[in-house]
Chain A
Amino acid sequence: MSMVAEQRELRDDALNGLQLSTRLENIWRTPSGFFGALASVDHKVVGRRYIVTAFAFLLLGGLLAVLMRVQLAGPENTFLSADKYNQIFTMHGSTMMFLFAVPVMEAFAVYLVPLMVGTRNIAFPRLNAFSYWMFLFGGCFLWISFMLNVGPDVGWFAYVPLSSLQYTPTKRPDVWAQMITFTEVAALAVAVEIVVTVFKQRAPGMTLDRIPLFVWAMLVTSFLVMFAMPSIMVASTSLILDRLVNTRFYDSSSGGHPLLWQHLFWFFGHPEVYIIFIPGTGMVSAILATFTRRPVVGYPVVILSLIATGFLSFGLWVHHMFVTGLPQLGAGLFTASSMLIAVPSGLQIFCWLATLWDGRPVYRTPLLFVIGFIVIFVIGGLSGVMVASVPIDTQVHDTYFVVAHFHYVLIGGAVFPLIGAVYYWFPKIAGRMLSERLGLWHFWLAFVGFNVAFFPMHILGLIGMPRRVYTYTADMDWAHLNLLSSAGAAIFALSFALLLVNVIYSLRSGALAGDNPWDASTLEWATTSPPPPQNFDRIPIVKHRDPLWFHNESLPVVAGLSVERREVLLTSLAEAEPQIREASPDPSIWPLLTAIATTVFFIGSIFTPWAVLWGTPPMAVALIGWFWPTGSKEDEE
């Protein structure tokens, strides 16, 4: 039976050149037209949408930050009311953490990981499409609520009992809690896809020790997502239950406890920092190798550091709770465990420095952002060691010192590498180079603006300024530093405007990129820019950690995949030996319909528990449509 099927089917070893490309393009392309676009399951299309949407949320979150800096620029400013300010800082934090930082990193992974491991599409491509729609709908839900003056106002951490029905009897905390559900569903879906793609779809020969460092970083991140996010989903769902159907998870008068919320929140919240930071380190490693013209020093050290960081990140959450009255010895142990994470982070920094020492740096914009990253992130890491100390934390906790610290870590550790990554991979995604001249301006404005905006906050915290205050009086001596900080914020915001200009300008008239403009070593540069729908005409064989540097002329390839239907090659977990050919799903509108049904269910259920009843049938219908068996050739065999 199988012999017969194989004889009938056309394989890629029977075709060559343009004929092969055209055939593959036809079966892998996204259908044309509006509905075709909505049905797309191409990881590049979904990844691009994900990236653009996440950057749109960055823009919105950034605008909120500017509004806050205007308000705080002078004492007793009346630019924003207390109510507006509280909504805005909550929206800023929630947008940046849930709608920008985590999704944008996953977005880059969705676009890049399949290319970097040499496969044709991500694992579970329809789930991927569903994930994007859920992210988009969740983000819009939060922002539309904000526009309707139902924006959450209890902080991005939504501590109970402030966020309980008794103290916030509006719908605002429900909007926040349900936005969490949306984004977590989206994030978990991508995490599963990345893990499976990396484990099962690597090009033949890409053994575990030949996986690019960025892919390793995203693999570790995906595991963190899978273990950390359930905690916050449990927390936010319990909060909604407390608020909607009078459960008492957090009510201390009925045997619940407010600190339960804090433990659940930070058991997610601390790994969250590494979910954002570890992809940044992957980007740094990728950029450094290309622009120092040599592989990163200590490949196994970097990977083990990533894994160690991942494990340690689950043992630190209590350092967010040092002033909640914990037993002193217990708190002291969390000081030590928190500081311990400096070791794997330090090892990575040392490896990168060694790479720079030996390499011959080519100072293009991506490398500038990586150098800026090292300078800024090390400050953030060191101030992190300070706040890990219980006695120091009792002073700086919930002050502007901590605001400074985590912006140094998150902007320094994740956004600088990310912007570097934008300059680095934009040519691959768009087919055109970003302007280097604007890039240079962008870097210096960002670097100076960032430091002027955030360094003074360290001092502000030490001289007594708490976080989340919408105003302060003139006699507190905070006015000058706040004004300076606001000026820095303006410069920093301007630098992002330059990026926007650069992207718009370069999309139209940037220099054409070619396949591999930076002479980089990883597989995504082995295909055209932008890549064709099938990514690669033939799946490459990997014989070296830096395949494009190792094979100067052309990559060895495998043949034998179908050219009549979507097919990917599955390989073994450790050695990446070819195992089977596996069908990859066609475009489908059902993920979108499922996402719409889920959205109705989620939003309905913050208003009435009955939404759980009437919201499920549409979801069931959508899922049945999604998984309706269509008898693929594979199954017939």
Chain B
Amino acid sequence: MPVRMRTALVPSATLPLAACAGRQSALDPQGLQSDQILRTFFIFLIVAAVVWIAVVIALCVGMLRQKRAADQPLALHRSFERTSGRIVFVLGLATLVIVLGLSIVSYAGQRTVFAKDENALTLKIIGHQWWWEVRYEDGSPDKNFVTANEIRIPTGQPVKVELESADVIHSFWVPSLTGKMDLITGQKNELQFTAKNAGTYRGQCAEFCGHQHAHMAFAVLALSPDEFDRWRDHENQGASSPTDPLGKQGEQLFRARGCALCHTIRGTLAGGQLGPDLTHVGSRTTVAAGTLPMSPATLAAWIADPQHIKPGNFMPRTPLQSDELIAILHYLEQLK
């Protein structure tokens, strides 16, 4: 009998989602680029605020002044018409100067934000409905590996992401680190950014990409360079085989119940290409592309009924006995 593990493992009907998902705010810059953008933004904001206040003051004064007689609409004063014409002209000119000045400020900011560093760490991100494939393709081929929905980068080092799409248009956006860039079918885009501080930064798809666009998030973990190197060496290795019987049963069920048709676990026979690579899924911080925080409960709930958590996504609901689910869960958790 297939069980609904969600009700079995999770006490309340709604899942506890309050785990820290990382920061996702353009007002909380943690990267060189987001810092620069925020500075440009504040310059614009100050100019805008001054202009708006001036207009509202002029409006209020204009409303309070009462000079003319209401019954002679065509009795215009020559001097007012002339002066007001001049003032309008000067203000128009001032507007022109302001927008040209702001254009220059904008372009200066743009050059900083889009400056390229040839020595950047390169990784490729491929958008799928509704998850992110992440390929580390830097250096020698034996150091290349694939992961999903989570990006780890070293702090202080420029990172170049090459953006492509496997289906429709998506947009890669980690506001705390930099602005967004689209992933466009049949086109290769590129974005560079540098994280200043270690931390977890949440990103989210910003271009409407269909049914579950709302649930296409990811995490960027900025690590110290040493930590990053250690993580990369570990991530590059295949999955370690389970040693305990339950884990072995889980590995076997992963193939027997069809999971391996879509998912790859490097170092095993599971080599499906349709879904996210799960080689080190146990070490990731979220489930279902940033939809839920990673925990045994949420992972179990996701496997038991993905269509409940993210309706319309392409992972089908697989009928599992409760002991089968527990075995698969146990196996996946080991994949650190």
Binding site for B on A (CB under 8 A): 76, 81-83, 86, 154-155, 159, 161-162, 167-168, 252-253, 257-259, 293-295, 297-298, 301, 323-325, 328, 331-332, 335-336, 339-340, 342-343, 346-347, 349-351, 353-354, 356-362, 371, 374-375, 378-379, 382-383, 385-386, 388-399, 462-464, 466-476, 521, 544, 546, 549-550
List residues of chain B with CB within 8 A of the CB of A375.
56, 59
Q: What is the minimal beta-carbon distance from B160 to any residue of chain A, in angstroms?
A: 13
List residues of chain A with CB within 8 A of the CB of B68.
293-294, 358-360
Given contacts A293-B68, A358-B77, A394-B180, 17 further A-B contacts (CB under 8 A): A76-B17, A83-B211, A86-B213, A161-B185, A294-B74, A335-B103, A336-B99, A360-B68, A371-B59, A385-B99, A386-B41, A389-B102, A391-B106, A394-B181, A463-B27, A464-B26, A467-B208
List residues of chain A with CB within 8 A of the CB of B84.
297-298, 354, 357-358
List residues of chain A with CB within 8 A of the CB of B173.
466
Q: What is the minimal beta-carbon distance from B161 to any residue of chain A, in angstroms?
A: 12
- Is A362 a contact partner of B37 (Cβ separation < 8 A)? no
Q: A425 to B204: give the CA distance in the assembly, Å.
A: 47
Q: A474 to B12: give the CA distance in the assembly, Å.
A: 15
List residues of chain A with CB within 8 A of the CB of B102.
339, 385, 389
- Is A391 a contact partner of B51 (Cβ separation < 8 A)? no
Q: What is the minimal beta-carbon distance from B215 to any residue of chain A, in angstroms?
A: 8
- Is B109 a contact partner of A389 (Cβ separation < 8 A)? yes
- Is B186 a contact partner of A252 (Cβ separation < 8 A)? yes
Q: What is the minimal beta-carbon distance from A61 to any residue of chain B, in angstroms?
A: 18
Q: Which of the segments B87-95, B147-155, B230-238 contacts the partner chain?
A: B87-95
Q: B222 near A: Cβ within 8 Å? A: no
Q: What is the minimal beta-carbon distance from B74 to any residue of chain A, in angstroms?
A: 5
Q: B85 near A: Cβ within 8 Å? A: yes
Q: What is the minimal beta-carbon distance from A608 to any residue of chain B, in angstroms?
A: 26
Chain A minimum-CB-distance residue to B97: A343
List residues of chain A with CB within 8 A of the CB of B99.
336, 339-340, 342-343, 385
Q: A298 to B86: give the CA distance in the assembly, Å.
A: 10
Q: A383 to B171: give the CA distance in the assembly, Å.
A: 22
Q: What is the minimal beta-carbon distance from B138 to any residue of chain A, in angstroms?
A: 21
Interface set, chain B 283-297, CB cutoff 8 A to A: none
List residues of chain B with CB within 8 A of the CB of A350.
87-88, 91-92
One digit per residue, 1 when the CB lies within 8 angstroms of any chain A CB and 0 when it does not, for chain B 114-130 equals 10000000000000010
- Is B100 a contact partner of A394 (Cβ separation < 8 A)? no
Interface pairs A-B: 6 shortest CB-CB? A394-B179, A252-B186, A356-B62, A469-B214, A464-B24, A389-B106
Interface set, chain B 45-101, CB cutoff 8 A to A: 45, 48, 51-52, 55-56, 58-59, 61-63, 65-71, 73-74, 76-77, 80-81, 84-85, 87-88, 91-92, 95-96, 98-100
- Is B19 a contact partner of A323 (Cβ separation < 8 A)? no
- Is A332 a contact partner of B208 (Cβ separation < 8 A)? no
- Is A399 a contact partner of B87 (Cβ separation < 8 A)? no
Q: B197 near A: Cβ within 8 Å? A: no
List residues of chain B with CB within 8 A of the CB of A382.
48, 51-52
List residues of chain B with CB within 8 A of the CB of A162.
168-169, 208-210
- Is B66 a contact partner of A360 (Cβ separation < 8 A)? yes
List residues of chain B with CB within 8 A of the CB of A359.
68
Q: B298 near A: Cβ within 8 Å? A: no
List residues of chain A with CB within 8 A of the CB of B63.
356, 361, 371
- Is B106 a contact partner of A332 (Cβ separation < 8 A)? yes
A and B contact pairs by CB, cutoff 8 A, 26 listed: A159-B208, A161-B185, A162-B168, A162-B169, A167-B168, A167-B210, A168-B210, A258-B169, A297-B85, A325-B187, A331-B110, A335-B107, A335-B110, A336-B103, A347-B88, A358-B68, A358-B76, A360-B70, A382-B51, A389-B106, A391-B179, A392-B106, A394-B178, A395-B26, A398-B208, A466-B173
One digit per residue, 1 when the CB lies within 8 angstroms of any chain A CB and 0 when it does not, for chain B 206-240 equals 11111111100000000000000000000000000
List residues of chain B with CB within 8 A of the CB of A252.
185-187
Q: B316 near A: Cβ within 8 Å? A: no
- Is A397 a contact partner of B186 (Cβ separation < 8 A)? no
- Is A546 a contact partner of B189 (Cβ separation < 8 A)? no
Q: A399 to B19: give the CA distance in the assembly, Å.
A: 24
Q: B334 near A: Cβ within 8 Å? A: no
- Is B44 a contact partner of A82 (Cβ separation < 8 A)? no
- Is B37 a contact partner of A391 (Cβ separation < 8 A)? yes
Q: A543 to B18: give the CA distance in the assembly, Å.
A: 72
- Is A395 a contact partner of B55 (Cβ separation < 8 A)? no
Chain B minimum-CB-distance residue to A374: B59
Q: What is the minimal beta-carbon distance from B130 to any residue of chain A, in angstroms?
A: 10
- Is A475 a contact partner of B26 (Cβ separation < 8 A)? no
List residues of chain A with CB within 8 A of the CB of B322.
none
A354-B211 contact in complex given A294-B76, A371-B63, A474-B17, C-beta closer than 8 Å: no
Report the count of interface residues on B (CB-CB < 8 A). Answer: 95
List residues of chain B with CB within 8 A of the CB of A379.
52
List residues of chain B with CB within 8 A of the CB of A476.
21, 24
Q: What is the minimal beta-carbon distance from B210 to any residue of chain A, in angstroms?
A: 6
- Is A360 a contact partner of B110 (Cβ separation < 8 A)? no
Chain B minimum-CB-distance residue to A164: B168
- Is B211 a contact partner of A82 (Cβ separation < 8 A)? yes
List residues of chain A with CB within 8 A of the CB of B179.
323, 391, 393-395, 397
List residues of chain B with CB within 8 A of the CB of A469.
213-214
Q: A347 to B55: give the CA distance in the assembly, Å.
A: 12
Chain A minimum-CB-distance residue to B75: A294
Chain B minimum-CB-distance residue to A342: B99
List residues of chain A with CB within 8 A of the CB of B185.
161, 252, 258
List residues of chain A with CB within 8 A of the CB of B21.
473, 475-476
List residues of chain B with CB within 8 A of the CB of A475.
17-21
Q: Indicate which residue in B65, B113, B169, B187 contacts A159 across the interface (CB closer than 8 Å).
A: B169
Q: Indicate which residue in B26, B59, B178, B209 contacts A463 across the interface (CB closer than 8 Å).
A: B26
- Is B110 a contact partner of A391 (Cβ separation < 8 A)? yes
Q: A464 to B17: give the CA distance in the assembly, Å.
A: 18
Q: A361 to B88: give the CA distance in the assembly, Å.
A: 20
Q: What is the minimal beta-carbon distance from A543 to any residue of chain B, in angstroms?
A: 12
- Is A466 a contact partner of B40 (Cβ separation < 8 A)? no
- Is B88 a contact partner of A297 (Cβ separation < 8 A)? yes
Q: A165 to B106: give the CA distance in the assembly, Å.
A: 39
Q: Could you say which of A168, A357, A371, A379 has the most chain B C-beta atoms within 10 Å of its C-beta?
A: A357
Q: What is the minimal beta-carbon distance from A295 to any residue of chain B, in angstroms?
A: 7
- Is B91 a contact partner of A346 (Cβ separation < 8 A)? yes
Q: What is the minimal beta-carbon distance from A316 to any residue of chain B, in angstroms?
A: 13
Q: B182 near A: Cβ within 8 Å? A: yes
List residues of chain B with CB within 8 A of the CB of A546.
73-74
Q: B25 near A: Cβ within 8 Å? A: yes
List residues of chain A with CB within 8 A of the CB of B213.
86, 468-469
- Is A391 a contact partner of B171 (Cβ separation < 8 A)? no
- Is B70 a contact partner of A362 (Cβ separation < 8 A)? yes
List residues of chain A with CB within 8 A of the CB of B129.
167
List residues of chain A with CB within 8 A of the CB of B14.
76
Q: A388 to B98: give the CA distance in the assembly, Å.
A: 14
Q: A61 to B209: give the CA distance in the assembly, Å.
A: 23
Q: A462 to B69: give the CA distance in the assembly, Å.
A: 48
Q: B175 near A: Cβ within 8 Å? A: yes
Chain A minimum-CB-distance residue to B181: A323
Q: A470 to B214: give the CA distance in the assembly, Å.
A: 6
List residues of chain B with CB within 8 A of the CB of A328.
110-111, 114
Q: What is the minimal beta-carbon distance from B94 to any residue of chain A, in angstroms?
A: 9
List residues of chain B with CB within 8 A of the CB of A86.
210-211, 213
Q: A340 to B63: give the CA distance in the assembly, Å.
A: 29
Q: A462 to B95: give the CA distance in the assembly, Å.
A: 26
Q: Indicate which residue in A258, A390, A471 contacts B106 across the interface (CB closer than 8 Å).
A: A390
Q: Could you say which of A155, A162, A342, A396 has the most chain B C-beta atoms within 10 Å of its C-beta?
A: A162
List residues of chain B with CB within 8 A of the CB of A464.
24-26, 175, 202, 204
Q: B34 near A: Cβ within 8 Å? A: yes
